[in-house]
């Protein structure tokens, strides 16, 4: 208990930015740690009086454990980075410093890196932002590797159903698309989610939270060494218990950026999975250029970004530049915090940087696509994909069809909490729609709202795409 009380004091003093005091406190911290180790050694020697004392080798921390100093320093850095970088800090309905301080006992009690990172995730989740969270790449190369088993789910009418299966062994074990998942590790599925999944999701909206839990398979994520036990219920209501190895291999998935098909009525269907690119955007643009000639031959175009996780907004602007022969507003006004120490010394209110809207050019050297266009959106449309939607709506180039988007964007900054082990990603920018309306924490609302039902799901019917095709056919007739 006295160790926790000391850490509380340590954290409080650390926030005062006094380097001399900080050095003294760290020295005291190390002294206490050494003293505790010596006390334990004395007690052990007393209990084993017949055992002759021998010099013991210096013990180093296990590969997947952290020292108390590391745990507290990581927590403290999280508190500081959020305090100075999080764009929505002024909107928090609770005292952030109190949350950090009250988290000290739980953080110190963690037994390994995975538990530690989970505690930090739980803290970040209180910020309610989809662009703020914990990344812990260290675990991918340690014995605490985290994995999800090769299947995905969907939520319909508050019931969890199996969607895609990416390992034939699961099918051989009896798993089928549409089966209801009723239990996880012996608990009711929703009780399990509310206890072990939902409190750790960093999200700006309820729709993005559900998308992450079900569509992105967060409900089954865990240590690769821990077996997942689920209970399924089929159409005959017979229960099926399955013990699933989280380390099972996934079938190779299509990772291409673009998927273009020609549908009925000479309407093109262009799926864009991401706006990310690792080669200065040239690979993204080169791939789009390869299919653009085919797109020009269509009578209308559906752009499908329902599961687009964002990336570089400039890539979205590049595509939009093919849909108009005029410059267009690609981004609305935006804001970011400005910290000026002198202002703080005067007790002045925090200042803000107000960014202006910016304009992107048409792709002048190419033939412009001037035929009808519709964009399909969903809960999985996030970040740069939402910026794409905002610009498209501002162009008045066509309809947005589907359900509200994730409602999260904002150029996050990544800062290390414990070097080479865990980082924090923090949202730094508040974006607005081209018309000045807010969409962060709300989502971009479609012009035509349509959602598939469980029966559509079982029949593999894409009613959102069907609606898009119908609207484009009507536009062509007019």
Q: Please report the DSSP string for 346-406 in residue order.
A: HTPPPEEEEEPPEEE---TTS----S-EEEEE-TT--THHHHHHHHHHHHT-EEEEES---
* Residue pLDDT, tens place only, 44-63: 433 333 333 343 333 334 45
Which residue has tokens 């412009």? Answer: 368
- Taking the C-alpha atoms of residue 474 and residue 478, their distance in angstroms, rounded to an integer, is 6
What is the per-residue pLDDT for 417?
A: 96
Q: For position 63, what pLDDT does the model report?
A: 57
Instruction: Please give the average per-residue pLDDT across 2-9, as a whole number.
Output: 51
Among 399, 407, 402, CA closest to 449: 402
- Give yes or no for a contact between 311 and 412, defined as CB atoms under 8 angstroms apart: no
Task: Band the pLDDT of 237: cuts 50, 70, 90.
Answer: confident
Inter-axis angle of helices 68-85 and 2-14, nearest 10: 30
Nearest partner of 429 among 413, 406, 445, judged by Cα: 413
Q: Are strands 422-426 and 133-135 parallel, antiparallel or unpaired?
A: antiparallel
Query: Please, which residues bridge with residue 165 across strands?
Result: 151
> Taking a C-beta distance cutoff of 8 angstroms, is the pair 110, 418 a contact?
no
Q: Enumerate the H helices of 186-240 as residue ranges.
A: 189-196, 206-210
Q: CA 7, CA 104: separation in Å to the nearest integer?
A: 7
C-beta neighbour count of 371 within 10 angstroms: 19
**Quick one: pLDDT at residue 281?**
57
Give the tens place of pLDDT for each residue, 74-90.
Answer: 999 999 999 999 999 99
User: What are the tens digits of pLDDT across the range 162-220?
Assistant: 999 999 999 999 999 999 999 999 999 999 999 999 999 999 999 999 999 999 989 99
Q: What is the pLDDT of residue 136?
A: 81
Q: Roughly what angle, to the nearest 10 degrees, separates helices 68-85 and 113-125?
A: 20
Q: Average pLDDT of the chain? A: 87
234-251: average pLDDT: 91
Confidence check: pLDDT of 21 > 70: no
pLDDT at 395 over 70: yes
Q: The tokens of 370 are what?
A: 């001037």
Examine the pLDDT at 477 and tell me if it is beyond 90.
no
Question: What's 245's DSSP letter?
Answer: -
> Exposed, middle or buried by CB within 10 Å (0-12, 13-18, 19+), for 196?
middle
At 215, list the tokens: 């569509």
Residue 34 has pLDDT above 60, yes or no: no
Please report the pLDDT score of residue 183 as a whole number.
Answer: 97
How many angstroms separate the Cα of 38 from the Cα of each of 7, 56, 111, 153? 20, 12, 22, 52
- pLDDT at site 37: 45
Q: Which domains does the chain have, with CATH numbers?
A: 2-37+63-133 (no CATH), 151-244 (2.30.42.10), 258-477 (3.90.226.10)
How sure is the predictor about 141, in pLDDT bands with cuts at 50, 70 and 90?
low
Q: How confident is the model at residue 365 (pLDDT cuts 50, 70, 90)?
A: confident
Number of Cβ atoms within 10 Å of the Cβ of 418: 21
**Residue with more model confidence, 342 or 398:** 398
Instruction: Find the helix packing angle between 313-320 and 282-296, rounded to 10°.
Output: 20
pLDDT band at 3 (very low <50, low <70, confident <90, very high): low
256 contacts 283 by C-beta, under 8 angstroms: no
**pLDDT computed for residue 343 by the predictor:** 87
Q: Quick: pLDDT tens for 102-126.
A: 999 999 999 989 999 999 999 999 9
Which residue would you say has higher pLDDT here, 140 or 88? 88
Tell me 167's DSSP state: -
Q: When comparing pLDDT for 364 and 332, which is higher?
A: 332
Look at 305-319, 342-356, 419-433, 445-459 and tell me which has the smallest mean pLDDT. 342-356
- For helices 313-320 and 384-395, angle between their N-to-C axes, nearest 10 degrees: 30
């Amino acid at each position: 208990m006295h160790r926790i009380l000391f850490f509380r004091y340590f954290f409080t003093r650390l926030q005062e930015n006094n380097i001399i005091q900080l050095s003294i406190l760290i020295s005291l911290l190390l002294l206490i740690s050494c003293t505790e180790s010596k006390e334990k050694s004395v007690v052990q020697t007393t209990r084993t009086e017949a055992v002759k004392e021998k010099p013991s080798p210096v013990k180093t921390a296990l590969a997947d454990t952290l020292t108390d100093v590391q745990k507290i320093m990581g927590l403290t850095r999280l508190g500081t980075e959020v305090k100075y970088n999080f764009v929505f800090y002024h909107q928090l309905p609770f005292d952030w410093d109190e949350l950090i301080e009250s988290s000290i006992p739980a953080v110190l009690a963690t037994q390994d890196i995975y538990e530690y990172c989970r505690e930090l995730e739980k803290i970040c989740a209180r910020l309610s932002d989809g662009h703020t969270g914990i990344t812990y790449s260290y675990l991918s190369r340690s014995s605490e590797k985290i994995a999800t088993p090769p299947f995905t789910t969907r939520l319909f009418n508050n019931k969890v159903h199996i969607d895609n299966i990416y390992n034939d062994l699961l099918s051989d074990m009896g798993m089928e698309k549409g089966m209801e998942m009723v239990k996880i590790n012996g608990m009711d599925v929703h009780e399990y989610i509310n206890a072990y999944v939902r409190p750790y999701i960093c999200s700006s909206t309820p729709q993005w939270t559900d998308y992450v839990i079900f569509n992105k398979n967060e409900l089954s994520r865990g240590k690769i060494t821990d077996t997942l036990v689920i209970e399924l219920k089929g159409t005959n209501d017979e229960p099926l218990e399955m013990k699933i190895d989280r380390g099972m291999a996934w079938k190779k998935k299509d990772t291409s950026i673009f998927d273009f098909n020609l549908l009925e009525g000479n309407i093109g269907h262009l799926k864009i999975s991401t706006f990310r690119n690792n080669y200065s955007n040239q690979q993204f643009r080169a791939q789009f250029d390869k299919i653009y000639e085919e797109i020009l031959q269509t009578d209308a175009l559906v752009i499908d970004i329902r599961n687009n996780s964002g990336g570089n907004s400039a890539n979205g602007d590049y595509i939009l530049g093919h849909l108009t022969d005029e410059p267009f507003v690609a981004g609305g006004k935006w804001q970011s915090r400005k910290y000026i120490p002198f202002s703080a010394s005067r007790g002045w209110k925090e200042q803000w940087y107000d960014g202006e809207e910016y304009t992107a050019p048409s792709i002048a050297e190419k033939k412009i696509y001037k035929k009808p266009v519709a964009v399909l959106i969903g809960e999985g449309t996030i970040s740069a994909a939402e910026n794409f939607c905002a610009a498209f709506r501002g162009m008045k180039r066509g309809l947005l069809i589907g359900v509200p988007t994730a409602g999260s964007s904002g150029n996050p900054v990544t800062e290390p909490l414990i070097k080479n082990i865990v980082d924090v990603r923090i949202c730094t920018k508040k974006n607005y729609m081209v018309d000045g309306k807010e969409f962060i924490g709300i989502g971009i609302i479609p012009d035509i709202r349509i959602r598939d039902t469980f029966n559509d799901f079982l029949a593999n019917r894409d009613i959102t795409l069907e609606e898009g095709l119908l609207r484009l056919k009507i536009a062509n007739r007019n």
